[in-house]
Copies of this chain bind each other. A is one copy, B any other.
């Protein structure tokens, strides 16, 4: 299965700014095997004319809950407790495993169509999300949400995680992490147990930390520490950790995150939408933290479109810091690609020989990309995701000329409508 993308404008890694130029890209099996030079014995079974295409590494969504797409636009402009306990939790209580499968598939369709090829998920019903991921062709890291108090190795949620991991060991596109939900839903003994399992099994961690001021205030009242300190003290950072949100992290917290090699997944839309404010992204970067970008779930975003998220990330900190020279387009693009690949330990996120062939081709004839100007600025400030024409994941073409090849979208819409009716959603 050799694919050759000829004469495409491509965004390659560079020093500081990205390196944008015309290239031929060779894909064999699951990997990028050549740039401009065809490897010995390479046979192209498909050639894609890249002349009117901008080829970028597939975007990596660093934090989401894909099963939540059914709750899109179900509860907006509400106080946080009304949102969570008045709408989201009552819907979640009615969810059946099959609902999570269809919800995850819908999120994945939206992601593929807007140029995301890999996502880091914290679901319920992890087996159903794995099932959807097998079908869509996406790359994913799944961490079933965990919560508890005791040092209990028989925890049923942990067992579900390990079972899904075993059952999907044959699928190279999927990896599994442990997903302790948050400091306020996991006791220190429980977190210690998670840390021990992670170390023994060589697994990474996916957790929410310091999403809101309330979380910090409650942590202080109960434990006289910050959420970051609480999680560190329970040993979580001994495993490779990606921490979502980190909106309320002070200078000392930021140093702790940097020292422990914790990656932060920032979620600008979700943080603003729920009234939690702005994560200190420039300050996290200054502290040396690896920052990556995520959408969060559709119930608090309400999209799974990383172009929308890149636009937000590139703009809001210029607003909060009163300078146009804060969080550049090049930095944002790294946070949506290579930084997240690094956080997840995956060989994707850049167009380089030896990395996985997760590639997104945008239509250079789109008005929003005319003229293109600086290509990376165009990705952050002009594109909306509708320009994505072709998507290759793990060396397979999953979308060609906006036709999605892996999912029956008509059936998907039918099932979503059926589920929404049952759940009392419009």
Contact = CB atoms under 8 A, between A and B. Distances in A.
A370 B416 contact: yes
A371 B417 CA distance: 7
Nearest to A72: B373
Contacts of A114: 384
A271 interface: yes
Contacts of A44: none
A378 B72 contact: yes
A285 interface: no
B426 A372 contact: yes
Interface string A366-407: 011011111101100110111000000000000000000000
A316 interface: yes
Interface string A317-333: 01111111110111000
Nearest to A73: B373
Contact of A382 (B268, B302, B365): B302
Interface string A59-83: 0000000000111111011111001
A12 interface: no
Contacts of A319: 271-272, 275, 277-278, 316
A416 B371 contact: yes
Interface string A284-325: 000000000000001001110101100110011011111111
Contacts of A323: 79, 275
Nearest to A373: B73
Given A381-B273, A382-B303, A386-B384, A371 B76 contact: no
Interface of A: 69-74, 76-80, 83, 106, 109-110, 113-114, 213, 268-269, 271-278, 298, 301-303, 305, 307-308, 311-312, 315-316, 318-326, 328-330, 365, 367-368, 370-375, 377-378, 381-382, 384-386, 409, 413, 416-417, 420, 425-426
Given A72-B378, A76-B324, A274-B324, 12 more contacts: A72-B373, A73-B373, A73-B377, A73-B382, A74-B374, A76-B329, A106-B370, A110-B367, A114-B384, A273-B381, A371-B420, A384-B385
18 contacts: A70-B371, A73-B372, A73-B373, A73-B374, A73-B381, A77-B328, A113-B367, A269-B381, A273-B315, A273-B381, A276-B322, A277-B319, A303-B368, A303-B384, A307-B384, A308-B311, A316-B316, A374-B426
